[in-house]
A and B are shown apart, each in its own frame.
Chain A
Amino acid sequence: MAKTIMAVDDSASMRQMVNFTLTSAGYVVVEACDGADAIAKVDSQPIDLFITDLNMPNKDGLQLTRELRAHASHRFTPIVLLTTESQPEKKMEGKAAGATGWIVKPFQPEQLLMVVKKVCPC
Chain B
Amino acid sequence: MDLVAIQKQMRVSFLVEAADLLVELDSSLLELESQPDNADLLNRVFRAIHTIKGSGATAGFKEMAAFTHHVEELFDEARVGHLHLTSEMIDLALAACDLIGTLLKTDAPASHAEQCNDIIARLAKHLPHGTAAAAEASTAKAEEVAGAQIYQIHFKPNESVFFSGTDPLSLLEELGDLGSCEVKADFSELPPLDGLNPEQCYIAWDIQLISDHPISKVKEVFMFVEDESEIRIDHKSLKENEACEEKGDESFRIFMDGVDQCIGALNVFVPQIQAPGVAAEGVLKNCLRTMRILVTASLTQDCTELKVIAESQILLLEPAVTSAEAMTEGFKQELADNQKKLVALQQELRKRTASPVPSASNEPAVEPRKSEGADTATTNSIRVDQDKLDRLMRVVGELLIARNAFPIIAHKVSVEHQLTGLGNELKQAGNSISHIADELQATVMAIRMMPVRSVFQRFPRMVRDMSRALGKDVDLKIEGEDTELDKTVIERIGDPLVHLVRNSVDHGLELPDERESQGKPRMGTVNLRAFNQGGLVIIEVRDDGKGMDPAKLKRHAVKKGVITEEYAATLSEQQALELIFMPGFSTADKVTDISGRGVGMDVVRNNIRQLKGTVTLQSVMGHGSKVTIELPTSLMVSRGILVNDANEEYILPMENVLELVKLPKQRIHRHAGSCFAQIRNDVYPVMRLSERLGASSSGEDEEVVSVVLLQLERSRVGVAVDRFLSEVEVIVKPLTGDFERVREFQGATIMGDGRVVLVINPNTLFKN
Interface residues of A (CB under 8 A from B): 1-2, 10-14, 16-17, 20-21, 23-26, 28, 53, 55-57, 69, 75-79, 82, 84-86, 88-89, 92, 95, 98-102, 105-110, 118-119, 121-122
Contacts and interface: CB of A to CB of B under 8 A. Distances in A.
Given A12-B13, A56-B47, A98-B165, A20 B1 contact: yes
Contact of B47 (A14, A55, A122): A55
A77 B165 contact: yes
A100 B58 contact: no
A75 B163 contact: yes
Contacts of A109: 3, 6-7
Interface in B452-506: 454, 457-458, 461-462, 465, 494, 498
B458 A24 contact: yes
B65 interface: yes
A26 B58 contact: no
Interface stretch (B48-56, B357-365, B530-538, B644-652): B48-56
A75 B50 CA distance: 30
30 contacts: A1-B599, A13-B13, A14-B51, A16-B10, A17-B7, A17-B9, A20-B9, A20-B10, A23-B458, A24-B2, A55-B46, A57-B43, A78-B166, A79-B165, A84-B50, A85-B137, A86-B72, A86-B76, A95-B227, A98-B163, A100-B166, A101-B166, A106-B56, A106-B57, A106-B65, A109-B7, A118-B170, A119-B166, A119-B224, A122-B465
A56 B46 CA distance: 10
B461 A84 contact: no
Contact of A2 (B16, B163, B462): B462
Nearest to A89: B289
Nearest to B20: A12
Interface of B: 1-3, 6-7, 9-10, 13-14, 16-17, 43-44, 46-47, 50-51, 53-60, 62, 65, 69, 72-73, 76, 133, 136-137, 162-166, 170, 173-174, 221, 223-224, 227-228, 289, 292-293, 296, 383, 454, 457-458, 461-462, 465, 494, 498, 597, 599
B151 to A, nearest CB: 18
Most buried by B among A56, A89, A100, A122: A100
Contact of A101 (B3, B16, B223, B293): B223
Contacts of B60: 106
> 8 closest pairs, A vs B, by CB?
A106-B57, A101-B224, A100-B165, A78-B165, A13-B14, A13-B13, A17-B10, A106-B58
B474 to A, nearest CB: 14
B458 A86 contact: no
B69 A86 contact: yes
A28 B44 CA distance: 31
A95 B54 contact: no
Given A2-B498, A89-B289, A102-B224, A14 B164 contact: no
B55 A13 contact: yes
Contacts of A86: 69, 72-73, 76, 133, 136
A99 B72 CA distance: 25
A24 B54 contact: no
Contacts of B227: 92, 95
B117 to A, nearest CB: 19
B58 A119 contact: no
A86 B458 CA distance: 35
A105 B162 contact: no
A88 B293 contact: yes
B493 to A, nearest CB: 13
Contacts of A85: 133, 136-137
A10 B56 CA distance: 14
Contacts of B59: 13, 17, 106
B70 to A, nearest CB: 11
Contacts of A84: 50, 53-54
Contacts of B163: 69, 75-76, 98
Nearest to B228: A95
Contacts of A11: 17, 51, 54-55
Contact of A24 (B44, B292, B461): B461
